[in-house]
Every structure is written in structure tokens, then in C-alpha cells.
Structure 1
Amino acid sequence: MWRHVAANAFTFLMVGLFLLGGLIMWGKGQYDAPGPLTQAVCVQVAGGSNMRRVSENLAEQGAVSSASIFRIGADYEKKSSKLKAGSFLVEPEASMKEIVDVITRGGASTCGTEIVYRIGVNRVSIQVRELDPATNRFAELAQFTQGSDEVPAEYTQMLEQSDVRFRIAMAEGVTSWQVVNAISGMDIMEGTVAETPAEGSLAPDSYEVRKGDDRAALIARMQDAQELLVAAAWEARADDLPIDSPEELLILASLVEKETGVADERRQVSSVFVNRLNQGMRLQTDPTVIYGITRGEGILGRGLRRSELRAETPYNTYVIPALPPTPIANPGRASLMAAAQPDETPYIFFVADGTGGHAFAVTLDEHNRNVAVWRQIEADRAAAAENGDNN
């Protein structure tokens, strides 16, 4: 009898283990399988939250088929304690395993609301925007100019949210003084910058920051990034360039940056400067003269005077037969590479053509004709503006 009971118990145990094993295998399959999402969603994980609340939120949004299996899988992978606060983009058909990895990996948020501080040549604009997971595009909530416009309520409200991301986007061609002046006015940053960094030493780029980050530390990041860009451009430079050091390459790149905003023109503009240097000609570029007047502290806001074009200053390339002594702005990667690898052209002249680009020329006669066309375009625009004011 006891043998019969023992045999039945053993049978039940084996069946139970078999069923448990099958259940585990089924659960693992559910955990690893593509999820039910048909379009991306943004999952917000509040500070101090736990895996239970997150799993229930995911189930409500239709991102996981079972909150329980999600939690069991996270526990099994020993990731439940690694939950990170933030807003995370969950892609369509993401498995539970993939979602657990996203919300425990750490790093910057990948969706939700973002505040972008754009440091431009003429102003600093602040944009509050939110990512639409379905389209993967940002929708603008508010935009204003730092220091002049009224601060919108959307901006003030978002500053108090724990999952908002902050980004500082530095444009190509801004000066070091403009960068320091801009970040000094940003209320999310702390600390001070002891002195203005050397001109040209900051890399134009987009920098992720956190509320309370140190301003000097951000400047150091920009400097480190620019050092790498300059070193790479110098290493890739063409043979026989009329420049002798990475610093001179940086100076030339800053001239290219300030002379054109058209990407396809950078190497042509660079070729004009290189041709002039090779021929011992003066560079005769207005941005250097302007920098000699402003020292990069704001914009000139008017045309150059004849006396300024004749003045003997280190930055007046209408007078000095060489590069100016320092960069005149912070050039980006494209302008650095244009300075390092200019096009091979016969051009030694260029002038604006009215489209945002330039007309290039080999001879002075051809250049003078291009200048005459540009002067007429300027006159026509002035007349149209005057007629518009009178109407």
C-alpha cells in the first residue's frame, strides 16, 4: 500500500514539475517575444517609482501583455533594483526583455519634453518641445528669446518637471564671448566661467546637460571636443597648404565659417583664401575687420566704414598680407575640413550673388562684373524695402 501511495506521489510530483517547467518556458517565451505595441509610446518613470507601478503603467498603455510576467522577468534578470527615472521611448513590438533593458540602462531620457537653448550669432532662443512617439517628431510648445522676450508659462512649468531633458545647441560661427555670455544667462546652469576661452577653441555642437550643471565644466567639454576636431582635420590636411600649424588651420577655418553659410561652398571659399595666400595676396575679407572692431563681443550692426577698411590693425586683412593673429569665431567640423582639404580651383575672388551664396571669379574684370550685379541687387532690395515702408 505504501509503495502505491509513494508511486502516486512521485507521479504527481513529476507531473507538477513538468507543468511548472512548461509554465516557465511559456513565461520566458512571452518575456522574449515581440510585444503588442503597434506604435511607439513614451513611458515615464518617476523618481522613487518601482517596477510594480511601471509594469502596470506599461500594461495600461498596451506595451506589455502581462504586468506579472514583466516583473518576474525583471526580477529573474536582477534588474528590478536598477530602475532609472526618466522618459523612455518604447518602440513598436518591443519585447518585455527589451523594455526592461531600456528603463534600467540609465543615461539620458529618449522621449518626453525637452528644453533646447540655441546659441546663435544674433540671439539665444529657447524652445520647449515634446516628442510625439507615434511620428518621432517634436511638437513645439513654446519659444522665446533669452533676455528680451517674456518668459512663457510653459517654460516655467517644465523647469519643475523631473523628467525634462535640457540641451544646449551651439551654432557654427558664434564667438567664445557669445557662448559664455549665453550660458551665463541660462537659469538651469550654476557656477561661473572665470575668463573667456580662446577664440575658436569651442566646438559647435549639441550638448546634453542637467539642471544644476557647472558652466565651467560645460566649457571644458566644448574645448575637449574642439581639440579632437582640430587634430583630426590637421591629420587629414592636404599637401602643400600655406599653413604651418593646427592653430593656423583653425584661423583659416574660422574665416571660411564666417564667409559662407552654404555647405557646398565651404571648400570653394577655402580655395580662394589658399590661392591668395599662395600668391602673397591680401585676403580682403570683411569678417576679420569686423572682429578687429568688436573682438567678438556682439555684432557690429552696421556696415564697415572706409576708414575702418584702411586702418592698420592686426585683423584688417585689407592691409595685412597674411592670416589674422587668432580665429574670429568658433568653426564647426565642416569648415575645419574645408580648410584642411580645399577644392582645387583657380579662383581668387568671390562676392555675394543674392541667393545666399557667392559668385566666384578668376580675373579682376570678371569679379568687377559680379560686384556690379551684387550692387544692383542691393539697390533693388533697398528700393523695395523703401516702397514697402511707404505703403
Structure 2
Amino acid sequence: MLSFFRWVLFFIALFLTVIGGALFFGHEMLVAQGPLETTKRIVIPRGAGPATMARVLHQEGVIAHPLLFRVALMIDSEPKPIKAGEYEVPAHTSMQGLVELLQAGKLVQRRLTVPEGMTTAEILDLVRKAEALTGEITVDVKEGDLLPETYFYSRDDTRDGLLLRMKEAMEKTLDEAWRKRTPGLPLANRRQALILASMVEKETAVPAERSRIAAVFLNRLRLKMKLESDPTTIYGLTDGKKSFDRELTKADLQSQSPYNTYVVTGLPPGPICNPGRASILAVTHPAHDRSLYFVADGQGGHVFARTVAEHNRNVERWKAIQRERQEQATPPTAGKP
């Protein structure tokens, strides 16, 4: 009888040793470095179960043992669902680290930067070409509907979804700016503020000038002066769908387009681009400036004037700068020094 109990104890000890060894070996495999040599992006497909995930990870070289990955999911004391999508897996990630990474659901965030002043046609083209977005564009977006910004998105997000986010961001920005606007602006509603902001956006690339440019246009609106904006006239000629790489001609300035602010009085019928947040704020909070004119200063900015005489002098200086540049750019005729 004693001998029987000794054998029982022996087998129990042996069993515990084997189990302990298996647990130790299994733990070592879970925390050991994985086979991935460099950081890699992998995609967990929608609806994938443990078997499919294990196969994808093995094919991508992230794990060496698909069965161990499935076991790791099964023995997790606090299992969490794994979200489908794109993940960035660091080199040599262990099985345990991989499970934690996937269960955390930290998908790769891609970014799309929409520059200020782009037309809607240009933004739609940008979205069509963006990597990893899906679906055709079916949402209706008009000029001025989209807020230029940097947008983050994940693989397989839809193009319509991203555009709707841009549209919502513009609505929110415009609403807030209009609600907090400076009192007494000669603008009837927030759409007129958007139209003017699009003009400011196209008139200057110098951030510090935006509120002064806005003030000039607002001053002219109060006096019922024509706005005489080159960018609106150009938009009338191109409809915002093609480039314009020449100087405006006399015929251009006499065109009967409703966007030709050399002919029509007041604002054009719609925005000429998608203005950024800064231009919208410049229009709703303009500078305290009584200027009625501005012209290029030859250094990337503008010089402002209150009177026609002062403006004419500024225009002559700008023309002289242009002539000087043309002379410097023109190569000397053969035979002349």
C-alpha cells in the first residue's frame, strides 16, 4: 500500500513538473523576440477571426507560430476584441506585445493636409488621390464648403466620410466666427463673411496682412465702392477648375462675369476658394484701418493707402519694380555689351 502511494506521489510530481515546464516554456515563447526584422504595417481584415488573423500575421512575417498566437488569445485573462484595420508593428515584437498592440486598437493614423486657398475642385482631386481611402465621391460639396486643415484618417475610411468631416469643420468654424464677430460689419450673413474670407485668402500669403486686407474690402463695401479684386475676376474666367498663369488683360477686366468685381458692385455671388480659419477670423475681426487701396510692394506683401493719390504713387513704384525685374530677366542682345 505504501508503495502505491509513492507511485501516486511520483506521478503527481511528474505531472506538475511537466505542466510547470510547459508553462515556463510557453511564457518564454510569448515574451521572446518575434521574427520581424523591421517595423511593418499590417492589415487585419474586417470580420477576421483568430485563425484568419494568425494566418495573416504569419504570412506577413510578424509571427513564427500561428497556433501560439491563437493560444495567446485564448489564455488572455482580460480578452478584448481586436479591431479590423491597419497596425504598425515594431521590429521583433514579441507575441505578448503583439496581442497587447492589437487589443489596444491603435490603428495607423494617416494624414491629409489641405492647404488654405484651394478650390473645391482641387480638394476633391486631392481626396481622390489620397492613399488608403475607399469609395467614390458622392457627397455634394460646393465652393467654400470645406475647411483647409490637416485631417487624420485610417485605412479604409471613405472619401465621402472625410469630406463630410471637412464640411462639418467649416460649418463649425464659420458659425463660431460669425457669432463672435465685431459689431457693425457691412455683411448681411455668415455666407457673405465666407465669400469675403475667400477673397482675403487669395489676395495675400502674408498672415499679418489678412486683417488689413479684410478691412480694405469692408471699408469699400461701406462706401459702395467696387471691390476690384483680381482673384475674383480670375475665378470668373476659370470657374476655379483650371490654372491662370498670365496677367489680366483689359478685356478680362471688362468681362461680364458676376465674379468680375471691377464691373459689379459688392461681393461676388459665391466664394472663390476654401478659406482657412485665419482668413475667416480676419473678416469677422478686421483691423482698425481706414485704408481703401492696396497694391503689391515687390517683397511678397502689400502697401496700403487711404487716398487715390497715395495709391497711385504706390502703383507707380510697383510698376517700376516690375520694369526693373523684366530688364534683369531679359538676356542682352547678341553684339551688345
The TM-score with structure 1 as length reference comes to: 0.61
Of residues 129, 135, 139, the one that matches 1:190 is 135
Q: Following the alignment from structure 1 to structure 2, what is the Cα–Cα distance between the partners of residues 357 and 275? A: 20
Q: Following the alignment from structure 1 to structure 2, what is the Cα–Cα distance between the partners of residues 101 and 229? A: 38
Partner of 1:272: 216
Q: Which digits, 9 at most, give the CA deviation of each residue in 1:234-278, with x for residues without a partner?
A: 112110000011110110110111101111111111111111112
Of residues 118, 132, 139, the one that matches 1:174 is 118
Partner of 1:352: 296
SS in 2 for 1:347: coil
Partner of 1:213: 158
Partner of 1:383: 327
Q: Following the alignment from structure 1 to structure 2, what is the Cα–Cα distance between the partners of residues 389 and 238? A: 57
- The 1:108/1:239 distance shift into structure 2, 3 A limit, reads farther
Unaligned runs of 5+ in 2: 1-38, 63-71, 91-95
What does residue range 1-391 of structure 1 map to in structure 2 within 5 Å? Answer: 78-79=78-79, 82=82, 86=86, 103-109=102-108, 167-184=111-128, 189-193=134-138, 197-207=141-151, 208=153, 210-211=155-156, 213-214=158-159, 216-387=160-331
- The 1:294/1:50 distance shift into structure 2, 3 A limit, reads closer
Cα RMSD for the two superposed structures: 5.0
- The 1:110/1:191 distance shift into structure 2, 3 A limit, reads closer
Unaligned runs of 5+ in 1: 1-40, 59-72, 92-96, 112-166
Given that 1:50 and 1:83 are in contact with CA atoms closer than 8 Å, whether structure 2 keeps it comes out as no
User: Which amino acid is the alignment partner of residue 108 of structure 2?
Assistant: S
Q: Following the alignment from structure 2 to structure 1, what is the Cα–Cα distance between the partners of residues 73 and 299? A: 58
- The 1:178/1:42 distance shift into structure 2, 3 A limit, reads closer
Q: Following the alignment from structure 1 to structure 2, what is the Cα–Cα distance between the partners of residues 303 and 266? A: 23
- The 1:380/1:231 distance shift into structure 2, 3 A limit, reads same
SS in 1 for 2:236: helix
Deviation at 1:230, TM superposition (A): 1.1
What is the percent sequence identity of the aligned residues? 35
Q: Following the alignment from structure 1 to structure 2, what is the Cα–Cα distance between the partners of residues 286 and 105? A: 53
Partner of 1:65: none
Aligned length: 324
Deviation at 1:320, TM superposition (A): 1.9
Partner of 1:6: none
SS in 1 for 2:113: strand
- The 1:388/1:324 distance shift into structure 2, 3 A limit, reads farther
The TM-score with structure 2 as length reference comes to: 0.70
The structure that has the greater radius of gyration is 2
Deviation at 1:80, TM superposition (A): 6.0
SS in 1 for 2:172: helix
Q: Which digits, 9 at most, give the CA deviation of each residue in 1:335-377, with x for residues without a partner?
A: 1111111111121111111221111122222222221222122
Q: Following the alignment from structure 2 to structure 1, what is the Cα–Cα distance between the partners of residues 43 and 258? A: 56
Tell me which protein shows more strand as a share of its residues: 1
Q: Following the alignment from structure 1 to structure 2, what is the Cα–Cα distance between the partners of residues 374 and 268? A: 19
Deviation at 1:389, TM superposition (A): 11
Q: Which digits, 9 at most, give the CA deviation of each residue in 1:98-143, with x for residues without a partner?
A: 99876533253159xxxxxxxxxxxxxxxxxxxxxxxxxxxxxxxx
SS in 2 for 1:244: coil
SS in 2 for 1:351: strand
Given that 2:88 and 2:107 are in contact with CA atoms closer than 8 Å, whether structure 1 keeps it comes out as no
- The 1:239/1:42 distance shift into structure 2, 3 A limit, reads farther
Given that 2:186 and 2:222 are in contact with CA atoms closer than 8 Å, whether structure 1 keeps it comes out as yes
Given that 1:178 and 1:298 are in contact with CA atoms closer than 8 Å, whether structure 2 keeps it comes out as no
Given that 1:168 and 1:209 are in contact with CA atoms closer than 8 Å, whether structure 2 keeps it comes out as no
Relative contact order, higher structure (CA 8 A, sep 6+): 2
Partner of 2:67: none
- The 1:79/1:225 distance shift into structure 2, 3 A limit, reads same
User: Which amino acid is the alignment partner of residue 264 of structure 1?
Assistant: A
User: Which amino acid is the alignment partner of residue 318 of structure 1?
Assistant: Y
Given that 1:183 and 1:189 are in contact with CA atoms closer than 8 Å, whether structure 2 keeps it comes out as no
User: Which amino acid is the alignment partner of residue 115 of structure 2?
Assistant: A
User: Which amino acid is the alignment partner of residue 254 of structure 1?
Assistant: S
Deviation at 1:307, TM superposition (A): 1.9
Q: Which digits, 9 at most, give the CA deviation of each residue in 1:152-204, with x for residues without a partner?
A: xxxxxxxxxxxxxxx4322111112222344445685432437x622111111
Q: Following the alignment from structure 2 to structure 1, what is the Cα–Cα distance between the partners of residues 231 and 109? A: 39
Deviation at 1:321, TM superposition (A): 2.1
SS in 2 for 1:387: coil
Q: Following the alignment from structure 2 to structure 1, what is the Cα–Cα distance between the partners of residues 262 and 249? A: 13
Given that 2:85 and 2:154 are in contact with CA atoms closer than 8 Å, whether structure 1 keeps it comes out as no
